Amino acid sequence: MRWRNCVTWLLVTRLPVLHNSSFLKSGVSTTILKHCKLCVDPDVFASLVAKLENHPVFSNNSNNPQLPVSVQLAIFLNGVGHYGNGATTEDIAEWAGVSIGMVYNCYRRVMIALLQLHDDVIHFDPMEPEDQEEWDRVKRWVESCSCSEWRGGFLCIDGSPFNLFQKPGWHGEGFYDRKSRYSLSAQVIILPHNLRIVDYVIGVPSSLHDSNIFSRTRIYCHPETFLGADEWIWADSAYPSLPWCVVPFKRLSTESMPDTHKIFNQHLSKICVRSEHVYGSLKGRFQSLCDMRFQIQNQHDLEFANMWMRCCLILHNLILEIEEDLGIVSSNNEYMEEAEMWGVPLIHEQDDDGEDFIGTPGQIFRSRLVECLIHRLRT
């Protein structure tokens, strides 16, 4: 009798177990997408799939077809969107209902497709009509925060650490930063009005100073590529004062700062704070950047970590572009506030104490900007 009951129970037709990723087969709501850990609007997700699905990496001649591009992209977004135990391949494999090896394959394919879009997404050429419109908008935004004479400063730069979960086995001491952590440093140059990234340096050990890393950027080596006459970028006090790189005044340890310098720094901070916002958006949406779980044992491992970070920067610009095209309110502020709520370090903190000599070309140019600002405020 017991045997008959067991046979009957085993022969009963059972419904298949639905995995969390099954939502991709039908229309979804914003709530479901957030619940399933993708951190993007449904319309943005659909646009991302449309931009990637025609890449050759998603097609093969095998008798075993690949997963739909939407599922592969969802797996990658889940991976870059979490850190710690929530980002383990085992957890993502269980969520998607696939094997661990399939998770790695999806990572690889999506990263290949994203990297091919790099030059189309991260660029700035004032000679291009689209970039010319962006150039005009950002200059109007800067003027609204300061004065018309400051329109020429339409780019911002700052650095931030991307922490590693353990000491690298390959030149590990070189990754030890001033916060007693092992991390990779990033430098991004942005348009402050919409947080679009136009240039960057990633994968540099955080033991190096911001000014040292800055010297590796394309804008430092070839400023004419981005800047014309009477144009410059804004930076914090960790960067060199140059005719095309304007930094705030430092507080002298022996005397108080003049009021004009304080006013200049206050207006400059309204623009430079956008560099914090871009890192908040990056680390809030792509949380894997807060604690990258890569074992860096050789040059190849470091290159993979760099490609991972580069894909996050590409996705940041892609999502920004798609939201603008669809008329969706930018989600940058939402993820920036989330990162700030966790207490995630957004930028490298610098010591304001130090001497600030007057007389270099960069400091003379900064003094002119101070005069223009004070004159505008008094009229």
> By the 8 A CB rule, do 285 and 342 touch?
no
Which structure tokens are listed for 337? 């506030």
What is the average per-residue pLDDT within 35-54? 87
Q: Is the pLDDT of residue 4 over 60?
A: no
User: Which ranges of 256-331 would DSSP assign to H, the alpha helix?
Assistant: 259-285, 299-326
Q: Which of 228, 225, 203 is closest to 216 using CA atoms?
A: 203
Per-residue confidence (pLDDT) for residue 348, from 0 to 100: 52
Q: How many CB atoms lie within 10 A of CB 296?
A: 23
For 19-116, the fitting CATH number among 3.30.70, 1.10.472, 1.10.3470, 2.40.160 is: 1.10.472
Q: Which of 236, 243, 246 is closest to 279 using CA atoms?
A: 236
One-letter amino acid identity for 341? Answer: M
Q: Which of 267, 279, 265 is closest to 376 using CA atoms?
A: 267
Domain ranges of the chain: 19-116, 123-348+357-378
- Counting residues of the chain whose pLDDT is more than 70, the rounded percentage is 84
What is the average per-residue pLDDT within 100-123? 95
Query: Mean pLDDT in the chain?
Result: 85
Confidence category of residue 311, pLDDT binned at 50, 70, 90: very high
Q: How far apart are CA 40 and CA 335, in angstroms?
A: 11
Q: Which of 23-37, 47-61, 299-313 has the lowest mean pLDDT?
A: 23-37
Q: Which of 96-100, 213-217, 239-243, 350-354 has the lowest mean pLDDT?
A: 350-354
Q: How far is the first Cα of the chain from the last one, in angstroms, to the nearest whole number?
A: 99
Q: Is the pLDDT of residue 126 over 70?
A: yes
Higher pLDDT, 187 or 212: 187
Q: How many CB atoms lie within 10 A of CB 83?
A: 20
